[in-house]
Amino acid sequence: MPKRDDITSVLVIGSGPIVIGQAAEFDYSGTQACRVLRAEGIRVILVNSNPATIMTDPDFADATYIEPITPEVIEAIIAKEKPDAVLPTLGGQTALNAAIALHDRGILEKYGVELIGASFDAIHKAEDRQLFKQLVLDAGADVARSHIAHTVDEAIGFAEDLGYPLVIRPSFTMGGLGSGFAYDREQLERMVADGLHQSPTTEVLLEESILGWKEYELELMRDRADNTVVVCSIENVDPVGVHTGDSITVAPALTLTDREYQKLRDIGIRIIRDVGVDTGGCNVQFAVDPATGRIIVIEMNPRVSRSSALASKATGFPIAKIAAKLAIGYRLDEIPNDITKVTPASFEPTLDYVVVKVPRFAFEKFPAADAGLTTTMKSVGEAMAIGRNYATALQKALRSLEKRGSSFHWAGEPGDKDELLAIAATPTDGRIVTVQQALRAGATIDEVFESTGIDPWFVDQIVAINELAEVVRTADALDPELMREAKEQGFSDAQLAELRGLTERDIRAIRHASGLRPVFKTVDTCAGEFPALTPYHYSSYDLETEVAPSEARKVVILGSGPNRIGQGIEFDYSCVHASFALRDAGFETIMINCNPETVSTDYDTSDRLYFEPLALEDVLEVIHAESQSGELVGVIVQLGGQTALGLAHGLADAGIPILGTSPDAIDLAEERGAFSRILDEAGLIAPRNGTATDVDSAVAVAEQIGYPVLVRPSFVLGGRGMEIVYDSGSLVDYFDRVRDQAIIGPGMPLLVDRFLDDAVEIDVDALYDGERLYVGGIMEHIEEAGVHSGDSACTLPPVTLGRGIIDRVREATQAIAEGIGVRGLLNVQFAIGAGVLYVLEANPRASRTVPFVSKALGIPLAKAASLVMAGSSIRSLIDSGLLPETDGSVVPLDSPVAVKEAVLPFKRFRTAEGRIVDSVLGPEMRSTGEVMGIDRDFPRAFAKSQIAAYGGLPDSGVVFVSVADRDKRAIVLPVLRLAQRGFAIWATEGTAEVLARYGIATRVVRKHFEGQQAPEGAEPSVVDLINAGEVDIVINTPSGRSARADGFEIRTATVAADRPLFTTIAQVGAAVASLESGDEPITVTSLQDYAIARAARA
Amino acid sequence: MTHAPAYLVLEDGTRYRGRAYGARGRALGEAVFATGMSGYQETLTDPSYAGQIVVQTAPHIGNTGMNDEDPESRRIWVDGYVVRDPSRIVSNHRAQRSLDDELEAQGIVGISGIDTRALTRRLRDAGVMRAGIFSGDDAALDPDAQLAEVRASAAMSGRSLSAEVSVDEAMVVPAVGESIGRLAVLDLGVKASTLRHLAERGFEVHVLPQSTTIDELRALDPVAVFYSNGPGDPAASDAHVSLLQDVLKDGTPFFGICFGNQLLGRALGFGTYKLPFGHRGINQPVLDKQTGRIEITAHNHGFAVDAPVEGVVDSPAGFGRVEVSHVGLNDQVVEGLRALDIPAFSVQYHPEAAAGPHDSTYLFDRFREVVLEHVGRAAERDDQKDA
């Protein structure tokens, strides 16, 4: 049953912006699918609004639409491209929901387009809780007792039957959004109300609690001849109660007998068959009662998922790739196993190693959020590690998180056992370390199991690690045998150093002196039964290495590690591009990364892949292994974000050549004094600034340079702890709030900068080869300066900057590039206030906006950068045709405009009382992802970006306006335009007065004061009205002084009600313009068509 | 930490240092690797592993302990056991004791803490070979002496082990539900799961010693005969082959598994040969040529039948037309035989699984159908005779 010949073109639906629960893994799977389909000669049409993805590179599809993933847009694409089929199973829940909408609206039928990968029926059966439950029972398996509720009252009735705690799961949401445990009636009411709102079908499932049961997942694939294989079993170390995305997970399952495992397998196969996934993959989640072995099926996803990406990386079995082939008609036995080449894909991978995944959280970005883990996913990324045993894989995974305190440690006293056990009873980020400390404090395995539900086998592994640590700590000498034993259990040099009171460097020297180095094993799908032809390696302190000698010239590319807020898929994009470009240029590319979600950790991406922590020790060992043959040209550190950059010095100190900008030059940009000197020499200015180490000196500095000031601790990333402060009272308040974070003090000064009110911020991505500057793009932020560039929408080309400013920006960028000594990429942030150009900061590395620039202007910046780092000149890259002759600083007037918009995760995070965290934008980055809107002018592009990010703006209804005094003048015109378009305008008293004077009819709405009883018979407050769904758009700019009082209530209510919220005037202006562009139907254009138009202009 | 040392010595002279595990002493046998990630208890108690030192490629072994429900026979059969990371504790609600204790109690010498992947690759590239594990006092033996012991041990080729693993006395497993007749099972190392499956298909299962003669067999008057899996070289089992030829001549329906498949092959007149490193795992894809379906199957065999994979051929021993019914997709090895003119078929792999996936249990149903059809036809013939 070979490939179907009736499918010649396929529309692939991507997953849109990175959000919690749906991240880079869908770029990995979508990219694989696009590659496979094209290799099969199929015309691939792609829609995805996320510009940071590899899949949206014009090279990966025949027609790439960076457009919002809505039924209207997809219909426009189908009408234009006339694909034979739509493949919706590789773009997460977003794509699946889009497919359902296309089906429901009759669009598929209208255009005669077939859904492949999963039928509508299959999607429906898997997603509809009631249907699925029946199906599981028919398969002879068990389900948790449950009821479906459509109203809060109904839910209260069912809760009496099920008892508390109980689980609430809204239907058709992704990443468990809106689901969780209710322990009492009050929580139930709130969560059900939210869940009904989140569910597109207004239904929630209430379920008996299986908290504390063991949780497993199987990844299955099935072809149209009904051949089914289980690709991977995954066991959650954290028992049921924690979303699998937030759990530490291990593959393969380690605590099941074969009988128990085969039961899960039998059930899984029945389910994939009965749901009717005929050509593709699915995952099935199980809960197993540790006391009795009773098995409950939790859910199944009839599509490629986060877990399938993990399973693919864990086994070497590329699920998405195979799924795409099955979708176009192949059978499993007709597809070769990628790694062995000689055996077929119709088999089940077997592992001779252990894989551990640990989640990466970002609670520090949302200090008010409840850090307890529930069935709603909260992690923003993950790290995976491979080891020859669990202890090694776990320890490697924990150090891959690059987070202080994430690894096991033995310094100081562990604390009180009972207290630690009590803390560990609630699942949180870092619970595994709490468990380790509790064991240190004398807790028994049973006590830990009692407290956490973590299987005793996993607990014992930590006991063994603690015991070995104690031996290391108390040994007379760290002899080679003992050191080997510690390394075999995954201890890092840093941990051994801590235990022995030495430095990491000392330990490394001792270790190397005794010839103790890791070997590298291969992920081969078959436990060594057949030779592996794909060099996908991991380290192990074992006997035999499998790194094949090569005489090539090698370049090592360091990836960016686990995704986190501030460092995500954008950096992976640059790493992957570098790998492609350098491979094309004849280098052997070697990728090191530990993020299973990414394209960079696809073994197809680079010549060699090392799945290793991005810690100095691990990176040095890979480099050592690769240095045994061929020529190591150097290491690329400037594409993998702060993770890779942070290793530059350590590598340079070890004598490893760093390609591109030197580590010392990088310091020039990071170190404030040195950077000031560079600016002085170039005649550039930065905002007035100073540093302080305590509150008094901070107030003194602030008064000297003038309020408002932007304060930020040094040595933090992603704008952590950054705030705009308007007076000394707020500054004192700031110190109070950050006190317990210990981020300011001697040696860790607070940087205090004059904040430029009403300034326009500009981002520049450029390339410098030592002689010539090549601007990738100049981006104008839509929000004023003060909003973190990662959270700000921006437009390319800039729409309000004159030629003169652009020339000055270009010159300044060149001067900075020269001053620092950049070889490769440079990102500079400028602000223009009152006609003055200020330099805010410069980063000699790939920035978050590199992929956006590349997509918007068709300039392959990361590829060019990697070649510049490897020695090419910009001139030669232009001559070879890689770079266009004119750079991105000059964009012709008839070019399209691209707008990047950030996507924020506020909905996911709640305070301990269950309220949504504040959603005001500020200098600390909190977005998880981004979308791009591209169209012929700014309003249309902005409108698309809003649709892609938030589903678009309503074109009628009620606009509520409440702005800070400084914004009152600027708000008048946009509000007038909204009123003219027929919106009703509501405002708080102060804002209403201003609007009234301009003749805008405004209804005055009572403010809302937290904790204050409304007077008898009073009008409903604005928050009441928002909660009641009567407000359609909210404009609320925070005033510096009371940002946390009234505005907070308004903004959180707006986010909870899922209404558009604008917190800056600039956003409002852009939104008004976009509303006016929405009067015409949306038009779609592929990147390839834009490129043709660009070529015609050139 | 101090650990009692142990050595694994291959006949080619390769030595691996590890830690003593299970019983102390020496173990000699053919070193083979098994790639299943679950089911060590079933593996250890599978009589087919008699005479072998089993290397587990899965690193963590012993996590779920041992229980009285899962063993496939009355004892552990492996001669030696090689693992990387033995579990320190037991965690499973059904566990009754630890693997470590069980190995020691049954006197099985093991070794842990060695690079099992390196060893597996060695066996894959060089082929399986004789090996020895030396621990306790034997660990102190001179390396040359250890190697000499290994080289002096019996090779698997030409070795008959059926007598070691078979029952001495016949035993009966009653049919589950209504009996469809007596089934003679020649115990060449049969697994408990196989007997359970057969009984569940309505057979009154008579497990017979491997030394059973054709007269004893006929005296039982079975509706069908079954040959089990088991250890050893099929070329060294001529008595079982000639017994089977008599069975086939009688026209009695026959089903064989694993060793039973090899013996059917030989009875039909094909040869058997030793695979370089065998198939031992629970993830092996097999094509059922009759249905075109792929099964994921459990394998444990070092020998295979030498028959043409494509087409129908005449049995060299004169039993009519024969075809290869199942093929291993990893290496195109014969995984099943079907005689077209007599009611006999067999598979090289393990439909009873344990350990392994349950994809192939249909073969027991197929056997039941073949037998019922045969019995029905015989009854029809009898009816015709009567008429």
For residues A927-941, give the mean pLDDT: 92
- Chain A residues 708-747 with CB within 8 Å of chain B: none
pLDDT of residue B278: 94
Fold classification of B5-152 (topology level)? Glucose Oxidase; domain 1 (3.50.30)
User: pLDDT digit string (tens) for A875-904?
Assistant: 999 999 999 999 999 888 889 999 999 888
The whole-angstrom separation of Cα A540 and Cα A537 is: 10
Under 8 Å CB pairs connecting chains A and B tally to 175
pLDDT of residue A101: 94
Query: Measured between CA atoms, how close is A351 to chain B, in angstroms?
Result: 6
The whole-angstrom separation of Cα B330 and Cα A333 is: 10
Do domains B5-152 and B162-381 share one topology? The answer is no
Contact between A395 and A491 under an 8 Å Cβ cutoff? The reply is: yes
B92:A255 CB<8 A: yes
User: Which of helix, strand or coil describes residue A50?
Assistant: coil
The whole-angstrom separation of Cα B7 and Cα B141 is: 10
DSSP one-letter code for A344: B
pLDDT bracket for residue A1042 (50, 70, 90): very low
Which residues of chain B does A483 touch, with a Cβ-Cβ cutoff of 8 Å?
none
Beta strands in A594-716 (DSSP E): 608-611, 631-636, 658-659, 689-692, 709-713
Bridge partners, A691 (sequence order): A751
Contact between A281 and A219 under an 8 Å Cβ cutoff? The reply is: yes
User: pLDDT digit string (tens) for A306-322?
Assistant: 899 999 999 999 999 99
pLDDT of residue A729: 87
Catalytic residue status for B352: yes
% pLDDT > 70, chain B: 99
pLDDT bracket for residue B387 (50, 70, 90): low
For residues A182-194, give the mean pLDDT: 90
Tokens representing B121 are 């690759």
Which residue is closest to B33 within chain A, CA to CA?
A529
Query: Measured between CA atoms, how close is B86 to chain A, in angstroms?
Result: 10
Catalytic residue status for B350: yes
Which of A253, A292, A288, A234 shows the shortest CA–CA distance to A457?
A253
Q: Is the CB of A460 inside 8 Å of chain B's CB atoms?
A: yes
B329:A343 CB<8 A: yes
User: pLDDT digit string (tens) for B91-129?
Assistant: 999 999 999 999 999 999 999 999 999 999 999 999 999
Contact between A689 and A752 under an 8 Å Cβ cutoff? The reply is: yes
State yes or no: pLDDT of A559 exceeds 80: yes
Rounded-to-10 torsion of CA A887, A888, A893, A899: 160
How many alpha carbons lie under 13 Å from residue A757 in its C-beta half-sphere? Answer: 10
Q: Is the CB of A229 inside 8 Å of chain B's CB atoms?
A: yes
The whole-angstrom separation of Cα B55 and Cα B67 is: 21
Which of A269, A241, A276 shows the shortest CA–CA distance to A167?
A241
Which of A248, A252, A212 shows the shortest CA–CA distance to A233?
A252
For residues B133-160, give the mean pLDDT: 95
DSSP one-letter code for A601: T
Cis omega before residue A165 (within 30°)?
yes
pLDDT bracket for residue B32 (50, 70, 90): very high
pLDDT of residue A865: 97
pLDDT of residue A712: 83
Choose, from B197, B240, B299, B350, the residue flagged as catalytic. Answer: B350
B287:A292 CB<8 A: no
Tokens representing A122 are 């299959």
The three state secondary structure string of A1003-1041 is EECECCCCCCCCCCCCCCEHHHHHHCCCCCEEEECCCCC
Q: How far is CA A656 from the centre of its chain?
A: 31
B120:A351 CB<8 A: no
Cis omega before residue A456 (within 30°)?
no
Among A740-749, A995-1004, A1064-1073, B265-274, the range scoring the smallest mean pLDDT is A740-749
Among A367-381, A600-614, B5-19, the range scoring the smallest mean pLDDT is A367-381
Q: Is the CB of A346 inside 8 Å of chain B's CB atoms?
A: yes
B58:A257 CB<8 A: no
State yes or no: pLDDT of A411 exceeds 60: yes
Among A252-256, A314-318, A786-790, the range scoring the smallest mean pLDDT is A786-790
pLDDT of residue A77: 97
pLDDT of residue B318: 96
Tokens representing A1033 are 């758009």
pLDDT bracket for residue A713 (50, 70, 90): confident
For residues B351-361, give the mean pLDDT: 96
pLDDT of residue A172: 74
The whole-angstrom separation of Cα A522 and Cα A599 is: 19
Alpha helix ranges (H) inside B251-345: 259-267
This complex has an ipTM of: 0.97
Is the domain spanning B162-381 CATH 3.40.50.880? The answer is yes
Contact between A50 and A121 under an 8 Å Cβ cutoff? The reply is: no
Q: Is the CB of A293 inside 8 Å of chain B's CB atoms?
A: yes
Contact between B199 and B205 under an 8 Å Cβ cutoff? The reply is: yes
User: pLDDT digit string (tens) for A722-755?
Assistant: 888 888 888 888 888 777 666 777 777 888 988 8
Which residues of chain A does B92 touch, with a Cβ-Cβ cutoff of 8 Å?
255-257
DSSP one-letter code for B209: -
**Please, what is the Cα angle at A597 between A121 and A849, to 5 degrees?**
110
Sheet holding A689-692, edge to edge: A689-692, A750-754, A709-713, A723-725
pLDDT of residue B68: 95
For residues A618-636, give the mean pLDDT: 97
The whole-angstrom separation of Cα B222 and Cα B216 is: 11
The whole-angstrom separation of Cα A194 and Cα A187 is: 11
pLDDT of residue A1022: 86
Alpha helix ranges (H) inside A306-444: 306-315, 319-327, 390-400, 417-424, 431-440
The alpha carbons of chain A give a radius of gyration, in whole angstroms, of: 28
Residue A841: Cβ-neighbour burial (10 angstroms; 0-12, 13-18, 19+): middle
Bridge partners, B21 (sequence order): B110
The three state secondary structure string of A161-223 is HHCCCEEEEECCCCCCCCCEEECCHHHHHHHHHHHHHHCCCCCEEEEECCCCCEEEEEEEEEC
The whole-angstrom separation of Cα A212 and Cα A648 is: 44
The whole-angstrom separation of Cα B57 and Cα B63 is: 15
Q: Is the CB of A487 inside 8 Å of chain B's CB atoms?
A: no
DSSP one-letter code for A55: T
- Domain borders along chain B are 5-152, 162-381
Residue A1017: Cβ-neighbour burial (10 angstroms; 0-12, 13-18, 19+): exposed
For residues A72-86, give the mean pLDDT: 96
Instruction: Choose between B208 and A130: higher pLDDT.
Output: B208
Q: Is the CB of A343 inside 8 Å of chain B's CB atoms?
A: yes
H or E stretch including A877? helix A874-879
The whole-angstrom separation of Cα B294 and Cα B284 is: 10
Residue A116: φ, ψ to 5°: -115, 160
pTM: 0.93
The residue written with tokens 């099955």 in the block is A326
pLDDT bracket for residue A920 (50, 70, 90): low
3-state helix, strand, coil in chain A (%, to 5): 40, 20, 40
Tokens representing A859 are 């300039």
User: pLDDT digit string (tens) for A146-156?
Assistant: 889 999 999 99
The whole-angstrom separation of Cα A439 and Cα A461 is: 11
% pLDDT > 70, chain A: 96
User: pLDDT digit string (tens) for A1029-1038?
Assistant: 889 999 988 7
pLDDT of residue A716: 62
Choose, from B42, B206, B258, B335, the residue flagged as catalytic. Answer: B258
Tokens representing A332 are 């499993």
The whole-angstrom separation of Cα A194 and Cα A176 is: 13
B70:A258 CB<8 A: yes
pLDDT of residue A1011: 45
Which of A90, A14, A47, A18 shows the shortest CA–CA distance to A568?
A18
State yes or no: pLDDT of A965 exceeds 90: no
pLDDT of residue B191: 97
Among A734-738, A910-914, B63-67, the range scoring the smallest mean pLDDT is A910-914
Contact between A113 and A84 under an 8 Å Cβ cutoff? The reply is: yes
